Structure 1
Amino acid sequence: MTTSPLGPDAIHWMGVDYRTIMTTESTGGSMCIVDSISAPDTGPPRHIHHGADEAFVVLTGDVEFWIEGERFVRGPGQTAFIPRGKEHTFRIVSNIPSRHLVILTPGGFEGFFADMAAGQFRIPEDMPAIEDSAKRHNLSFTGPPLGDDD
Structure 2
Amino acid sequence: MRAGQGDVTGEPGLLDRYLIESQVSGGRVAIIEHIVNPRTLAAPMHRHSREDEYTFVLAGTIGLIEEGVEITATPGDLLAKPRGRWHTFWNAGDDELRVLEIIVPGGLEALFRRLAEPGGGYSPDTLPSLAAEYGAEIDFEATMPLVERHGLAF
Query: Could you say which TM-score interval applies, normalised by the shorter chain?
Result: 0.7 to 0.9
The answer to whether the 8 Å contact 1:37/1:98 transfers is yes
Q: Does 1:95 align with 2:94?
A: yes
TM-score (normalizing by structure 1): 0.86
Rounded to whole Å, the distance in 2 between the matches of 1:14 and 1:117 is 11
- Cα 1:108/1:10, change in 2 over 3 Å: same
Structure 2 residue corresponding to 1:17, chosen from 12, 15, 18: 15
2:127, 2:138 within 8 Å by CA — same for their partners in 1? no
- Corresponding residue to 1:136 among 129, 133, 137: 133
Counterpart for residue 68 of structure 1: 67
Paired amino acid for 2:29: M
For the structure 1 residues 6 and 135, does the alpha-carbon distance in structure 2 shift closer, same or farther, using more than 3 Å as the test?
A: farther
2:19 equivalent to 1:27: no
CA displacement at 1:133 relative to structure 2 = 2.1
Identify the residue that residue 86 of structure 1 maps to in structure 2. Answer: 85
* RMSD between aligned residues: 2.1
* Matches of 1:56 and 1:115, distance apart in 2: 21
**Identity of aligned pairs, percent?**
26
3-state secondary structure, aligned to 1:45: coil
Residue 130 of structure 1 deviates from its aligned partner by 2.1
After TM superposition, give the deviation of residue 49 of structure 1 in Å.
Answer: 1.2
The amino acid of 2:30's aligned partner reads C
**Which amino acid in the other structure matches residue 128 of structure 2?**
E
Give 1:131 deviation, angstroms.
2.2
Change (3 A) 1:122 1:134: closer
Residue aligning to 1:45? 44
Number of aligned residues: 144
Distance 1:6 1:136 in 2: 31
The structural deviation recorded for 1:13 is 4.1
CA contact (8 A) 1:14 1:122 kept: no
Judge which range, 11-20 or 99-108, deviates more: 11-20
Q: For 2:110 and 2:84, how far apart are their aligned partners in 1?
A: 19
Cα distance change of structure 1 residues 8 and 108 upon mapping to structure 2, 3 Å threshold: closer
Matched letter for residue 149 of structure 2: D
Q: Helix, strand or coil for the counterpart of 1:134?
A: helix
State the one-letter code of the partner of 1:62.
Answer: T
Normalising by structure 2, we get a TM-score of 0.83
